[in-house]
Amino acid sequence: MTLWVESIGFAAAALTTVSFVPQVVHTLRTRDTRAISLWMYALFSAGVALWGLYGLMIGSWPVITANVITLALASIVLWHKLRERPQSPPG
């Protein structure tokens, strides 16, 4: 691949990955995930993991890098969402 094509890939990867930072910062500051969909983040995280695997299989560094970082960011929000779920009463 040419440098130009790789550069576009890295730019796209950087922009889409950085788009998760505000949600992660907000979640870490407020610990409030009530407005966040559990299923959306669970499915999204699974999809990003598969994109990362795909990137490894085809040897595409923009795909690998973006998806590994995005998975880490989405996992932070997902982990907080799972921790905030109400527990069922015992018995």
- Domains belonging to the chain, first-starting first, are 3-84 (1.20.1280.290)
CB 65 within 8 A of CB 12: no
- Each residue's pLDDT tens digit, 13-47: 899 889 989 999 999 999 999 999 999 999 999 99
Long-range CB contacts (< 8 A, 24+ apart) of 48-51?
48/74
Cα angle, residue 49 at apex, residues 44 and 50 outer, rounded to 5°: 100
pTM of the model: 0.80
Query: At CA 10, angle to CA 8 and CA 12, rounded to 5?
Result: 70
Three-state SS at 78: helix
Predicted confidence band of residue 89 (pLDDT cuts 50, 70, 90): low
Q: Can you say how many angstroms the Cα of residue 50 is from the centroid of all Cα atoms in its chain?
A: 12
pLDDT of amino acid 41: 93
- Tell me if 66 sits within 8 A of 13, measured CB to CB: yes
